[in-house]
Chains A and B, each alone.
Chain A
Amino acid sequence: MAPSRKLEVIAAPDKPTIVTRRTVDAPRALVFDAWTKPEYIKRWLGPRNMEMVVCDVDLRVGGGYRFVHRASDGQEFGFHGTYREISRPDRLVSTYVFEMFPDAEAIETLVLEERDGQTTVITTTVHKTMQNRDGHLANGAMEVGMNEGYARLDELLPQLRRAA
């Protein structure tokens, strides 16, 4: 049976963090390159209706990247960050700033797990402000169990529509 191509957007069990999982049909070394080589990145990152106008990569620890998408109305959405750990073919750690919120830097970890020629891509995004808040919340003896995560939002929405 072919593995699922479904994108999972889930919550980490231990931290308020966004985790995504997706399986692709390629060995992980190629997936790693698709993630880190500008000539490959341009081919897939971002929505089809947006043009990628900047795709700069300086792939070394301490080096940076910057990607800018441009929508048809001319609005641009930029992202940039610094590479912190580069372990081809299975792990890449970088900082991440969505330029709309320049003060909110996140740490993104890409992990590639290969099995039978298929690679599961796991991304984990932790916001620094969230880490700070974690400590704060722990003092308030608040548990932050996220086992079910955001999927449960879907269940809430119909109720909210009724209430609104």
Chain B
Amino acid sequence: MATATARLSADDLDATFAALADRTRRALIAKLARGEASVLELAEPHDMSQPAISKHLKVLERAGLITRSRDAQRRPCRLEPRRLKLVAEWIATYREYWEESYARLDDALQELQGQPTQKEKSHGTVTKTRSHRRPR
């Protein structure tokens, strides 16, 4: 179902989804997309303490979304876009799989109810003689 999944373990996906499931952390990622920044710089626009921001950054770091330099003074954070790209690919694949399945389900349900499918409707070839199979 997915080529992207082959490069991401289920645990990686879980960690990344959990990390992205938070407004503040998404805001941090958006800010880091413009370039590296220190905790102090990241805390500024948020009404949050540095320790609170640090906690969020740790979650992002564990999820592989950012890296932090070992520079003891400033420890700037940097975005790792590769992970987010893989997750985005995974979501796109998941969505595609289900969108296509549901489109097919629409047609199957119409046929099972003896109604013309969406496709047939749009071609204006609606006839009751198409009706067959009513499984209830």
Contact = CB atoms under 8 A, between A and B. Distances in A.
Contacts of A1: none
Pick from B20, B34, B56 the residue with the most CB of A within 10 Å: B20
Contacts, number: 149
Chain A interface: which size bin?
35 or more
B44 interface: no
Nearest to A48: B100
Interface string B104-125: 1111111011000000000000
B82 to A, nearest CB: 8
Contact of A29 (B17, B20, B136): B136
Interface stretch (A53-61, A108-116, A149-157): A149-157
Contacts of A129: 10-11, 14
B59 A40 contact: no
Interface in A91-120: 98, 100-101, 103-104
Given A44-B105, A45-B101, A46-B97, A144 B21 contact: yes
B84 interface: yes
A156 B29 contact: yes
Looking at chain A's contact residues, is the secondary structure mostly helix, strand, loop, or mixed? mixed
B39 interface: no
B78 to A, nearest CB: 10
Interface residues of B, number: 51
B128 interface: no
Contacts of A16: 14, 17-18, 21
A34 B101 contact: no
A156 B79 CA distance: 12
A34 B105 contact: yes
Interface string A102-146: 011000000000000000010000010110011001001111111
B95 interface: yes
A91 B22 CA distance: 30
A104 B11 contact: yes
Given A16-B14, A30-B113, 14 more contacts: A18-B17, A30-B136, A46-B97, A47-B101, A104-B10, A137-B18, A142-B22, A148-B23, A150-B20, A153-B20, A153-B88, A157-B84, A162-B33, A164-B85
Interface of A: 5, 7, 9, 11, 16, 18, 20, 22, 24-26, 29-31, 33-34, 40, 43-48, 69, 77, 98, 100-101, 103-104, 121, 127, 129-130, 133-134, 137, 140-146, 148-150, 152-153, 155-157, 159-160, 162-164
Interface of B: 1, 5-6, 9-11, 14-15, 17-18, 20-23, 26, 29-30, 32-35, 55-56, 59, 79, 81, 84-85, 87-88, 91, 94-102, 104-110, 112-113, 135-136
